Structure 1
Amino acid sequence: MNAIKVSTSSLKAMMLVIPPIFILMGLLDTWVPKEIMVKYMGETSGWKGIFLAFLIGSVAAGPLYASFPVAAAFMKKGVKFRNIMILIGAWSSTKIPMLLFEMSSLGSTFALTRLLINVPGIILTAFLLEAMTSKEQKADLYQKAERL
């Protein structure tokens, strides 16, 4: 019975998060031209793309599983693989509300130290994942995102 209660509660929580995310993804798909996304977060975006990926991931609302539809929409728009990995990493560990909670609960020193360790860690991980993922694997991922 406890497992059913927990499962039902989790399902309800997901049903409150997922529909707004899909609505926002539809709006992103409609309102933001692919050329803009490629310009600011595509293959030649450099540090600007990294910064935007961190910013979007850090201010985004919702649990980590909500980042995956966003990542798929970004793939459709031509966002660089590395920037997508940074977005997911930032979404999972550099959320601004989480930082504020940590500051109030665990102290500023802890929260800022964790943030200063996570940021380069996320960047390094994204660069490593990009280097370790073959062009064929990336192309396959982008093709699968197009079909969604």
Structure 2
Amino acid sequence: MINIKFILNRYKYFLISLLICIAIYIFDNNLGLDIFDSTKSNIIQMLSILPPVMILLGLLDVWVPREYFMKYMGSNSGILGIALSFLIAFFAAGPMYAAFPFTAVLIKKGVKFSNIIIFLNAWCVTKFSTLLFEIGALGYKFTIARLLIDVPGVIIMGYIVDYLVNKKK
């Protein structure tokens, strides 16, 4: 039997957003159509990115033993774990939402929480494709200056978040 209360609770934010979009469409057809076109475009983009990511993550999960992740990125990994977190993020491709399934695999494999936070932040600020674009658009001096600020900031943030999360436990 379908539990309507569970479904409504689970998808409440989606349903609220949908109702708001419908209300906007009723009051302004053009804006409503723009919203639905943008949503359709985003869904198509996600559906083109996530399946290959999930396949690669499934292979990674099966092929790379947990012990490797724990040895190189686990609680005793030190600078090597930080470097690997940056390296994986540097060569990553795709938007930020593609990082979250990978993060789930890292958690499952026993990676130190600070390295996971470093990975997520590094995904945002140190991806190779983003750096190339930034150098072309803003120049290498700006990019290097930003990296000199962001890289230590990402590491510090990873350890602060790790401390705060573990402090609550």
TM-score, scaled relative to structure 1:
0.90
- For 2:69 and 2:44, the matched residues in 1 are separated by 33
Which gives a bigger RCO, structure 1 or 2 (Cα 8 Å, sep 6+)?
A: 1
Which runs of no fewer than 5 residues in structure 2 stay unpaired? Answer: 1-32
- Answer yes or no: is 1:107 the counterpart of 2:139: yes
Query: How many residues matched?
Result: 137
- For 1:44 and 1:73, the matched residues in 2 are separated by 19
**Counterpart code for 2:51:** P
- Answer yes or no: is 1:50 the counterpart of 2:64: no
| Aligned pairs (5 A) from 1:49-68 | 49-68=81-100
1:134 Cα deviation from its structure 2 partner: 2.6
Q: Percent identity?
A: 47
What is the RMSD computed on CA atoms of the aligned residues?
1.1
- For 2:167 and 2:66, the matched residues in 1 are separated by 21
1:31 alignment partner, one of 63, 76, 80:
63
Residue 79 of structure 1: SS of its match in structure 2? coil
TM-score, scaled relative to structure 2:
0.79
Cα pair distance change 1:30/1:135, threshold 3 Å = farther
Structure 1 runs (4+) deviating above 3 angstroms are: none
**Counterpart code for 2:158:** A
Question: Larger Rg: 1 or 2?
Answer: 2
- For 1:28 and 1:136, the matched residues in 2 are separated by 31
User: Residue in 1 aligned with 2:15?
Assistant: none
- Answer yes or no: is 1:89 the counterpart of 2:121: yes
